[in-house]
Chain A
Amino acid sequence: MNTSPLNPTEQAQGESAQVTTVSAPAKAQTRRFGNKVRDAGLAYLFLLPALIIFGVFAYYPLYRLFWYATHTQSRFRNKPASYVGLEQLKASLTSNDFISGLTHSGLYMLYTVPLGLLLGVMLAVSTHRRLKGIKVFQTIFSSTVASSVAVASVVFITLVNPEIGYFKNVPWLSLRNPTSALFAVSLSSVWQNLGLTFIVVLAALQTVPDELIEAATLDGYGAIRRFWRITVPLISPALLFLGIVLVVSALQAFAQIEILTGGGPSGATETLLFKIADPRGIRPLGVRASYSLGLFVLTAIVAGAQYSIMSKRVHYGD
């Protein structure tokens, strides 16, 4: 079993007899130099499925978005589209419709990210202690991880639906009022994300070394100063990560809008993605493609931040 065949990919038993006489270091050398081509071939073979799928369902669609954005589609599917250059893209991205989508998505971020982080930290800090039965509370606080966006939206139907919701008469949670509707919807995301933020912050808290806290205590730091001067800086990578995750999920809010308000009242909860997906089919394909490119730029900014953080962590890791 351990007689080594020259080639690492084919487990050719037949060859093994011939090579048993070669000394170990020599074998390693022949293999390493002799197999460059085979290694490369194997690498491409391994990467092939990934590259095909990414090509067809990520990069080609990006090209198609540009194509749709620079063409106007005829109302009739069988008529050819006509090239309009950047005209449509410009007009779409400066339209009031796009700006309002952008505003709603921005507001959604504003409503969900700080509140979500704050509550997550509160829950984590309050359970990060030695206490009988603390596991029960930890399980309760992480429980919303089990709910999807769609489930969380159905859950919030029971709370804020204008006809049957428990809080239907609370004015600042009203889905009928254009100024409160988006906020009421956003609470479903805050609730749904609680489990995730709680789990991540608690895990981060558990990496804060005891010695540091003990030393600070001996130096006369009170609990509040310890928290802000030691704990917060040490868990800041986790908070940054969560911030990005929450921003991305706010940017991609759709199911909660469709299920809770359908974009209403009078378009007040139509986020960017809602206008792109356009469940009622109001906007032409070219306009929606232009909006998609706008979302692409926003995603790129956030994902860029995410990647730089992720790759930094790889360095710290070793």
Chain B
Amino acid sequence: MATDPTVSAANEQNRLNQTAEKIVDPLVPAPYDNDKAVQSPRSGLRNAVATTTTYLVLTALSVIVLFPIYMLLLRALSSPLKYISAGQPLYPVSIEWDVFNRAFGQASLGRSMGLSFVVTFVIVIAQVLTSVLAAYAFAFLEFPLKKLAFVLVIGTLLLPIEVTLIANVEIIRKLHLLNSVPGLTFPFLVTAIGIFLIRQGFLGIPRDLRDASELDGYGHLRFLFKVAMPMSKAIIGSFIVIAFLGAWNQYVWPRFATDRGAWQTVQVALRTIGSENPGELNLGFAAAIVASLPLLALLIFFQRQIVRGLTAGAVKG
């Protein structure tokens, strides 16, 4: 996202020469835009028409993207039976503001949210630790059978939980770990993606730096914590965010590694909350809103990390 200020200044100048009335938003990272108006200088009127059209298209697209969310809010707040008898309109009917309280009280949303937090934190912390250690071994240490070890790590990309699901459920059952935090987390304490990403970050650290810290008397541990990890902060940060996203959103594993309601994570609980009683349907919709709040917070506060984490495989650097 960081662009060379001199280059972008020159670009700015070019653009301003072409279309003086162009609006420049310095917050937009894109140094270039596809807007035709930039290329062929037009009259102010045609430009205004183009801009208005763009806004109309963007607004229409926004409505399509946001409509499902609006419907969720609407259904969560409306009294379910009255909403249906009112003919399911596009506006709320006899709003029940206490729906969130009731979801926490009657539907024990609090417990499943708490469990989701515990499970997510355990998974994220463990994944960062194990990934950093393994990545260090692959990036900075020589050892026999290194290639084989790496193949074994990457090979697990072929074995996602969906493939090994039924065997893993039997393993957890045999270990008497059904309905437990260890049972919910054990298969996810390590991830090949994390090892691979952080290893790439470590490989970007110049060899000279490694040699210099060696001469300064840094051992491997000190080098890892004082040099390698701080220098890979960005990549580790992005990995933490996407690991949180993945762990929080899990459905298949917690669904089958538990068979008691009390051990349902919030994602799994969404399936049943409010579904028994038509008069309480809105509890389920309210629960879905609550379940996405942590990710919404993540999206707001760690936007950069999310973008970097999600694009790690797609865009180089």
Residues of A bordering B, CB below 8 Å: 1-5, 7-11, 16, 24, 27-28, 31, 36, 39-40, 42-44, 46-47, 49-51, 53-54, 56-62, 64-65, 68, 122-123, 125-132, 134-135, 137, 140-151, 153-159, 164, 166, 191, 194, 196, 199-200, 203-208, 210, 213-214, 217, 223, 226-227, 231, 237-238, 241-242, 245, 248, 251-252, 254-255, 258-259, 273, 276-277, 279, 285, 288-289, 292, 295-296, 299-300, 303-304, 306-307, 309-310, 313-314, 316-317
Residue of A nearest to B200 (CB): A314
Q: Which 7 A-B pairs have the closest CB atoms?
A: A4-B217, A129-B33, A61-B167, A148-B249, A8-B219, A61-B164, A40-B143
Give bound CA distance, A288 to B66, whole Å. Answer: 39
Residue of B nearest to A295 (CB): B163
Residue of B nearest to A306 (CB): B157
Q: B172 → chain A, closest Cβ, in Å?
A: 9
Q: Contacts A57-B186, A238-B315, A303-B158 given: A130-B22 contact, CB under 8 Å?
A: yes
Q: B238 → chain A, closest Cβ, in Å?
A: 12
Q: Contacts A145-B299, A150-B268 given: A276-B68 contact, CB under 8 Å?
A: no
Chain A residues within an 8 Å CB radius of B144: 40
Q: B95 → chain A, closest Cβ, in Å?
A: 16
Residue of B nearest to A135 (CB): B27
Give bound CA distance, A166 to B285, whole Å. Answer: 14
Residue of A nearest to B39 (CB): A217
Contact B167 A258 (CB under 8 A): no
Q: Which residues B190-212 have CB closer than 8 A to chain A?
A: 190, 195-196, 200, 211
Contact A131 B54 (CB under 8 A): yes
B260 within 8 A of A: no
Q: Which residues B299-317 have CB closer than 8 A to chain A?
A: 299, 306-307, 310-311, 313-317
Contact A154 B171 (CB under 8 A): no
Contact A68 B166 (CB under 8 A): yes
Give bound CA distance, A259 to B88, whole Å. Answer: 21
**A40, A49, A51: the one within 8 Å of B141 (CB):** A40
Give bound CA distance, A135 to B35, whole Å. Answer: 16
Q: Mark B150-171, 1 if CB is under 8 A from A, else 0.
A: 0011101111101111111011
B49 within 8 A of A: no
Q: Contacts A8-B219, A191-B68, A199-B306 given: A259-B167 contact, CB under 8 Å?
A: no
Chain A residues within an 8 Å CB radius of B109: none
Contact B295 A147 (CB under 8 A): yes
B222 within 8 A of A: yes
Number of interface residues of B (CB under 8 A): 115
Contact A142 B61 (CB under 8 A): no
Give bound CA distance, A69 to B149, whole Å. Answer: 28
B276 within 8 A of A: no
**A129, A150, A200, A242: the one within 8 Å of B35 (CB):** A129
Q: A204-B314, A277-B256 are in contact. List 17 more A-B contacts (CB 8 A).
A: A1-B217, A11-B221, A46-B141, A50-B153, A57-B168, A122-B61, A126-B57, A131-B28, A135-B25, A146-B292, A147-B295, A149-B267, A164-B88, A254-B251, A292-B164, A295-B163, A310-B313
Residue of A nearest to B31 (CB): A210
Residues of B bordering A, CB below 8 Å: 1, 11, 14, 22-25, 27-36, 39, 51, 54-55, 57-58, 61-62, 65-66, 68-69, 71-72, 74-75, 80, 84, 88, 129-131, 133-134, 136-137, 141-144, 146, 149, 152-154, 156-160, 162-168, 170-171, 186-187, 189-190, 195-196, 200, 211, 214-223, 245, 248-249, 251-252, 255-256, 267-268, 270-271, 281, 284-285, 287-288, 291-292, 295-296, 298-299, 306-307, 310-311, 313-317
Q: A235 → chain B, closest Cβ, in Å?
A: 9
Q: B76 → chain A, closest Cβ, in Å?
A: 9
Interface centre among B11, B30, B211 (most CB of A within 10 A): B30
Q: Contacts A49-B133, A254-B252, A307-B157 given: A36-B163 contact, CB under 8 Å?
A: no
Residue of B nearest to A310 (CB): B313
Chain B residues within an 8 Å CB radius of A210: 11, 31-32
Contact A61 B68 (CB under 8 A): no
Q: Contacts A150-B268, A299-B160 given: A137-B311 contact, CB under 8 Å?
A: no
Chain B residues within an 8 Å CB radius of A276: 162, 165-166
Interface centre among A203, A231, A273 (most CB of B within 10 A): A203
Chain A residues within an 8 Å CB radius of B314: 200, 203-204, 237-238, 241-242
Contact B315 A134 (CB under 8 A): no
Chain B residues within an 8 Å CB radius of A8: 214, 218-221, 223
Q: Contacts A28-B211, A64-B170, A140-B62 given: A313-B316 contact, CB under 8 Å?
A: yes
Contact A51 B252 (CB under 8 A): no
Contact B156 A58 (CB under 8 A): yes
**A31, A64, A130: the one within 8 Å of B171 (CB):** A64
Residue of A nearest to B73 (CB): A158
Contact B134 A57 (CB under 8 A): no
Q: A232 → chain B, closest Cβ, in Å?
A: 12
Chain A residues within an 8 Å CB radius of B249: 148-150
Q: B164 → chain A, closest Cβ, in Å?
A: 4
Contact B311 A200 (CB under 8 A): yes
Residue of B nearest to A208 (CB): B32
Q: List 22 A-B contacts (CB under 8 A).
A: A42-B141, A47-B149, A49-B134, A50-B134, A65-B167, A127-B58, A129-B33, A131-B54, A148-B249, A149-B249, A158-B75, A191-B65, A210-B31, A241-B314, A252-B160, A277-B165, A277-B256, A292-B163, A292-B167, A299-B160, A299-B163, A314-B200
Contact A53 B33 (CB under 8 A): no
Contact A62 B137 (CB under 8 A): no
**A4, A10, A248, A251: the one within 8 Å of B215 (CB):** A4
Q: A126 → chain B, closest Cβ, in Å?
A: 6
Contact B68 A53 (CB under 8 A): no
